[in-house]
Amino acid sequence: MDRNELISRAKEYIQQEKHDYFRQEMENLLAAENWDELSDRFYTQLAFGTGGLRGVIGGGYNRMNPLMVRRATQGLAYYIRENSGSENPSAAIAYDSRRFSRDFAETAARTLCANGIKTYLFSSLRPTPELSFAVRKLGCTSGIVITASHNPKEYNGYKVYWDDGGQIIEPHDKGIIEEVRSVEGDVPDMELKQAEDAGLLVTIDREIDDAFVELIKSYSFRPDLVKERGRELKVVYTPLHGTGTMMVERIFSEAGIQVISVPEQREPDGNFPTVEFPNPEEASAMKMALALAKKEKADLVMGTDPDSDRLGIAVPDEQGEYVLVNGNQLGCLLEDYILLSHKEAGTMPPRPRVVKTIVTTELQRLIAESYGAGTYDVLTGFKYIADLIKKFEFTDEDYIFGGEESYGYLIETEVRDKDAISAAFLTAEMALYNRSLGRSVLDHLKDIYSRFGLFRESLISAYFKGQKGLTIMGDLMERLRKEPPERIGSRKVTMIKDYLYGTSYYMEEGDSDDNIDLPSSNVLQFFLETGAVVTARPSGTEPKIKFYASCRSAAGVPLEEAEEDVAAQLEEIRKELESWIPD
């Protein structure tokens, strides 16, 4: 793109952008003749993908800013008007603590109201799961959350939900994308006061909070235990400068559980000054909470990401040192506790179902089977779990629990996205239950391993820099399809699942079966003779590929011996995977 075109696009943006900060930022870049930066901001347009928008905050068409939010919302408004099935469609909007989140939320609200769509806007920041709940509670056609989840501070985003409270999937995702692409020129806008006076804008607050809190407490399996012994549990909690403080502190306080929030990370702050990545999956993000827990001799450490849909925990071992529990492990603990509680209370439905993603540990399937529950696999992304819950409404199957390895869990069906708030409350109850049996959370985990075998997982992410990155990544996946490995390390590959074509290929027999009933996705899974599984999954939005490895030992093998065996398997697989990745 030559300089004249850059100048033209920058001036066009300045003319259309109504927010002073972003307009001034672009004017400064033009005045400084910062051509490299201007090129990066205009060489392409921030794409509205299958879930919405996500990008670096800043002026320009390749950035997150009010103009791009207005255009995305106008496209959404077109789609809502055509597909709501109602003469009076409505939408709910929530936002997290990231920079400009409130501005983006109000921008979206003004655009929806200008299109005659009644809009419910939260009075202040709220967790993402509460937005999902609000969409269903208020009977909305759609919902929007302004968040970039656990991305670095430079980012913000825009996620879209449909009337079931789940993130958009087919056909809505593609339909909305088409409408967003059609938006050109000026976008309708309405001042907030004018929208309020017209009855198009409604501020929501405690009425949704109270209902959300009561919902979460209603999923307690042992309310009497919590009431009687909740005060015995000491929890250290960090919201990582996000939205979780109000809800977590309130629910725990009402339950009588002592919660101590990390003071330096308690207040919302989109600059995330104490962490590089506000992600409880990262050990570094939990560092301050772990230090406070050691000082307070806490029984449980918890952390949620900025929009409070992911939960990470740590628990003390026998020596009093805190051990981080990963996403697969906590998912198994919660699943086992939920199923055991239903069994003991006699409340197990006739056809209970657990839902997990294809890269989540197979241990969850074994746990489910031991209680007579079935398991469904879905593609990566909680929207697919939400879609399955919706389908269960028309069958005799009952959703019991769902989760993914990346620290996302869902207990209740009234919410249709991962919910760190309800997961935190149930985790505390599960810890109390273990305490009442005279064992720790780690003892509970060891018990699961003794029953089903030790499972361990590893993740390797490969980044491909430059414009050729996507091509290199595509070539790698194509090579794995055309020349699949017969072995990974010293272990034979017995089966390959190709989710792009919905096919399972059996190596020894040399034949295949079209038996994968999931949406097409560029994912390959290799199943080894030891029961290990290796998954290759490229990103659809950036030149990055993730390799997931899951290994297991046989049930009944002493834990120390199993640890050594599984660690050796993972190391061998890691070396093999690294040899696949081009330099």
Q: How far is CA 461 from CA 242, 375, 539, 547, in A?
A: 26, 28, 10, 6
Q: Is-catalytic flag, 149?
A: yes
Integer Cα distance of 315 and 15 in angstroms: 54
Q: How are the residues of the chain apportioned to helix, strand and coil, as percentages rounded to the nearest 5?
A: 45, 20, 35
Number of H helices, E strands in the chain: 20, 23
Q: Residue 366 belongs to what H/E stretch? A: helix 363-370
Residues in the chain: 583
User: Residues 6 or more apart from 530 whose CB is under 8 A from it?
Assistant: 491, 551, 552, 569
The CA radius of gyration of the chain, in Å to the nearest whole number, is 24
Across 62-81, b (16+ Cβ under 10 Å) vs e yields: bbbbbbbbbbbbbbbbbbbb
- The first and second tokens of residue 303, run together, are 């952390």
The pairing of beta strand 487-488 with beta strand 201-204: unpaired
Integer Cα distance of 305 and 118 in angstroms: 30
Characterise 316 by phi-psi region: left (phi > 0), alpha (psi -120 to 50), beta (else). Answer: beta
The pairing of beta strand 300-304 with beta strand 455-463: unpaired
Which residues are bridge partners to 63 per DSSP? Answer: none
User: Residues 6 or more apart from 63 whose CB is under 8 A from it?
Assistant: 41, 46, 55, 56, 57
Instruction: Say which of 142, 149, 422, 553 is annotated catalytic.
Output: 149
Which residues are bridge partners to 455 per DSSP? Answer: 552
Q: Any idea which residue has 């075109």 for tokens?
A: 5
Burial class (CB in 10 A: 0-12, 13-18, 19+), 580: middle
Q: Are the CB atoms for 93 and 120 separated by under 8 Å?
A: yes
Is 126 strand, coil or helix? coil
- The first and second tokens of residue 217, run together, are 């407490």
Catalytically annotated residues: 149
